[in-house]
Amino acid sequence: MAERRFGIGYALAPKKQQSFIQESLVGLARSRGIDLVRIDTERSLADQGPFDCVMHKLYGNDWKRQLEEFGVKNPNAVIIDSPEAIERLHNRISMLQVVSELKIEHETDTFGIPKQIVIYDKETLFDRQAWEGLKFPVIAKPLVADGSAKSHKMALVFNHDGLDNLKPPIVLQEFVNHGGVIFKVYVVGEHVKCVKRKSLPDVSEEEKLGSLDGLLSFSQISNLANNERTDDKYYKMMQLDDTEMPPQSFITDIARGLRQGLKLNLFNFDVIRDARFGNRYLIIDINYFPGYAKMPGYETVLTDFFCDIKQKKEKDGAENTGLDSYEVLSCDDEVRKIVSSDGDDGGDLNVEEENPIQV
Ligand SMILES: O=P(O)(O)O[C@@H]1[C@@H](OP(=O)(O)O)[C@H](OP(=O)(O)O)[C@H](O)[C@H](OP(=O)(O)O)[C@H]1OP(=O)(O)O
Ligand SMILES: Nc1ncnc2c1ncn2[C@@H]1O[C@H](COP(=O)(O)OP(=O)(O)O)[C@@H](O)[C@H]1O
Ligand SMILES: [Mg+2]
Ligand SMILES: [Mg+2]
């Protein structure tokens, strides 16, 4: 009997499609029984398919409605992930709330989020009371994190003079010196991978006092142009090679906790190590369906994940339990933990020793 294929429809913006849907991924998935099929976003989703699974990164009410309609028409299809769960990441306050709810103990290391306040209007921006407990320098981030260029525009603010240029609603977050290196933790279902990237450099005591403009604007610092990031000298200068990785088990526990709390399968989070302590980690950002193609071996990780879904669906089918309509792939189903084809249970953190950036 011919092997049953598993069809995954993907609905992505053109830029995302270009970076994510590479032949190396499509080919590997195909060799393992998974067909990746483009969803035509100009046509109704419900009229396309059949798909066993849909993965997506699109915004707006129309798309939400289309997913609902598709779910009703295809009750056995798996949708990765639910728009409601994704929306939680579109606000920089609700995004990090889940971190504060995590209960994870570790012998030597602790984690949390930086001190932050949300400012909705100019008046509150200059109200000293609202600032209680928060000290300069701070990073001003747009409250909304909806993937627009605007939502990535940030400013490092050194003193009160720098506040004039800010446009609420914003989040003001304590700037924490962290050695200029950020850890990006990619989560793909049960699979977790941590890599190092360039971040904002530390701010010295002199800079804190002497900044003339009071404000420094920037955007997507960890996502600089190719040539800047592939330059050997640049890495040496940034001491990325020398930077110690966070403990694997610690990061994996946080990743699992976030996956469960957020009810999401495809996301990454940015972590910095507080230079004041050395064993305190701060989560500063969580992104839905990030640039996985920059993760080394992304084809294998993603294909393993697709196979996890396929196997889970087949198992559920065999047990005749049925899948809930409009199902979000369960995040806490440890009993069903699937062993991937290379014998690795996929749950361990793969820490890259080398800086793995590849664009
Ligand atoms: O474009 P890429 O591949 O750099 O991916 C972006 C991510 O970069 P990263 O994987 O962390 O290096 C990026 O992460 P950062 O903002 O750099 O932390 C976002 O996830 C971005 O999505 P959005 O604009 O927030 O919707 C991601 O952009 P989209 O591709 O989803 O538009
Ligand atoms: N609290 C912070 N302390 C120090 N640096 C930070 C802090 N928050 C953000 N950064 C720096 O700013 C960059 C962008 O901030 P982030 O919240 O990740 O926004 P984006 O969603 O645009 O990636 C981070 O990658 C990091 O380099
Ligand atoms: Mg970020
Ligand atoms: Mg982000």
pLDDT at 215: 85
Cβ-count burial of 140 within 10 angstroms (0-12 exposed, 13-18 middle, 19+ buried)? buried
Flag whether pLDDT at 309 surpasses 80: yes
**300 Cβ below 6 A of ligand 1:** no
Flag whether pLDDT at 38 surpasses 70: yes
Query: Is 343 assigned to a binding site?
Result: no
- What's the whole-number mean pLDDT along residues 255-282? 98
Flag whether pLDDT at 344 surpasses 70: no
Please name the residue whose Cα sits nearest to atom 27 of ligand 2: 199
pLDDT at 225: 45
Query: Is 311 assigned to a binding site?
Result: no
Which ligand 1 atom is nearest residue 295's CA? 10
Higher pLDDT, 79 or 336: 79
pLDDT at 346: 33
The answer to whether the beta carbons of residues 208 and 226 sit under 8 Å apart is no
**56 Cβ below 6 A of ligand 1:** no
Flag whether pLDDT at 337 surpasses 70: no
Which ligand 1 atom is nearest residue 13's CA? 32
Average pLDDT, the chain: 85
Kindly report which listed range (240-244, 285-289, 291-295) carries the lowest average pLDDT score.
Answer: 240-244
Q: What is the pLDDT of residues 96-148, one digit of tens each?
A: 999 999 999 999 999 999 999 999 999 999 998 888 889 999 999 999 999 99
Two tokens, residue 256: 């699992």
Please name the residue whose Cα sits nearest to atom 13 of ligand 1: 290
How many residues belong to the chain? 359
Flag whether pLDDT at 264 surpasses 70: yes
Higher pLDDT, 319 or 161: 161
ipTM: 0.93
Query: Is 160 assigned to a binding site?
Result: no
* 137: preceding bond cis by omega (within 30 degrees): yes
**199 Cβ below 6 A of ligand 2:** yes
pLDDT at 242: 86
Q: What is the pLDDT of residues 206-263, one digit of tens each?
A: 888 776 678 888 888 766 544 454 445 555 555 677 899 999 999 999 999 999 999 9
pLDDT at 91: 98
Structure pTM? 0.88
Query: Is 7 assigned to a binding site?
Result: no
Which ligand 1 atom is nearest residue 146's CA? 26
Kindly report which listed range (16-30, 39-53, 206-220, 319-333) carries the lowest average pLDDT score.
Answer: 319-333
Which domains, from first to last, does the chain contain?
6-81+306-316 (3.40.50.11370), 88-288 (3.30.470.20)
Flag whether pLDDT at 340 surpasses 60: no
Four-point Cα dihedral 170, 270, 226, 214, nearest 10: 40
Give CA–CA dist 278/99, Å, rounded: 19
Q: What distance in angstroms lies between residue 220's CA and the mean position of ligand 4's atoms?
A: 8
Give the pLDDT band (50/70/90) at residue 354: very low
CA triple 262-290-22, angle to 5 deg: 130
Within 13 Å of residue 50, how many CA atoms lie on the same side as its CB? 8
Stated as kind and residue range, the H or E segment containing 216 is strand 215-219
**19 Cβ below 6 A of ligand 1:** yes
Give the pLDDT band (50/70/90) at residue 83: very high
Of the candidates 233, 208, 264, the one whose C-alpha atom is nearest the C-alpha of residue 87 is: 264
Q: What distance in angstroms lies between residue 286's CA and the mean position of ligand 3's atoms?
A: 7
Higher pLDDT, 232 or 267: 267
- What's the whole-number mean pLDDT along residues 324-347? 32
Q: What distance in angstroms lies between residue 271's CA and the mean position of ligand 3's atoms?
A: 9
Q: What distance in angstroms lies between residue 269's CA and the mean position of ligand 4's atoms?
A: 8
**16 Cβ below 6 A of ligand 1:** yes
pLDDT at 7: 98
Give the pLDDT band (50/70/90) at residue 322: very low
